Amino acid sequence: MNKAEKVAFVIKSLQELYPTIPIPLNHKDPYTLLIAVLLSAQSTDVRVNTITPLLFAKADNPNDMVKLSIEEIREVIKPVGLSPMKSKGIYGLSKIILEKHNGNVPQSFEALEALPAVGHKTASVVMAQAFGVPAFPVDTHIHRLMYRWGFSNGKNVVQTEKDAKRLFPKEKWNDLHLQIIWYGREYCPARGWDIEKDVITKRIGRKTVLKKHGF
């Protein structure tokens, strides 16, 4: 298969496996999604989903969040890790959203990335999942699979994102980035990988990856 055929095979396979795509992080609106994504940095979605109900019971909007102290926020979110940075970020971005954006999460990459503790990946998730703007947030699963499938060189997530956007149709970005995440978790993990179950990589994978696993 040439690269275009491989891309088409990936899209078709993922659509068959995940015709309806669950959102990994529980949320009810753009603000709670933004907070959940921020908390997910270097943590797991499962852990974040156990902590956000506790935090949102205290404050699920920027107005209530700034009524808490940074220390109060930190006490709740400690289990997800990096709580000193994340608690300051949550308080700081809530304050800015109130002061500069009338209490609403901004709907542009530039404004989101200007918020404390919000990087490009977090902004991309919010733009895609909250506002439906085409984006391709790259997490560790997407970075790993794009390399294993021979679609990117694996050097860094910036390059992986560029390659994904170049290869996949823009109208499919928002579905595909989630489908690839779920596929990576279920069939192509970093550890305990059973390539026999990983039908996509087994069919189109990078030769060096397949050879390493006896194919």
- 144 and 203 share one domain: yes
The catalytic position among 45, 60, 86, 139 is 139
Last residue of a domain, one of 95, 129, 163: 129
- 171 and 152 share one domain: yes
Task: Determine the pLDDT at residue 103.
Answer: 98
Number of compact structural domains in the chain: 2
- 34 and 107 share one domain: yes
Task: Determine the pLDDT at residue 27.
Answer: 97
CB 97 within 8 A of CB 90: no
Last residue of a domain, one of 68, 98, 129: 129
Which pLDDT band, with edges at 50, 70 and 90, does 138 fall under? very high
Task: Determine the pLDDT at residue 211.
Answer: 82
Does the pLDDT value for residue 141 go beyond 80? yes
37: domain CATH number? 1.10.340.30
The reply to whether 172 belongs to the active site is: no
Task: Give the HSE-up count for residue 17: Cα atoms under 13 Å, Cβ half-sphere.
Answer: 22
Last residue of a domain, one of 71, 94, 129: 129
CB 143 within 8 A of CB 154: yes
Does the pLDDT value for residue 76 go beyond 90? yes
Select from 88, 27, 86 the least CA-distant residue to 56.
27
The catalytic position among 6, 45, 60, 121 is 121
- 35 and 101 share one domain: yes
Which amino acid appears at position 150 of this protein?
G
- 35 and 119 share one domain: yes
Structure tokens belonging to residue 180: 């690839």
Which pLDDT band, with edges at 50, 70 and 90, does 177 fall under? very high
- 154 and 110 share one domain: no
Select from 64, 22, 65 the least CA-distant residue to 45.
22
Structure tokens belonging to residue 215: 């194919």
The reply to whether 121 belongs to the active site is: yes
- CA torsion sign, 187 to 193 to 197 to 201? positive
- 108 and 43 share one domain: yes
pTM for this predicted structure: 0.93
> Which strand (E) or helix (H) includes residue 183?
helix 173-187
Domain range for 83 is 30-129
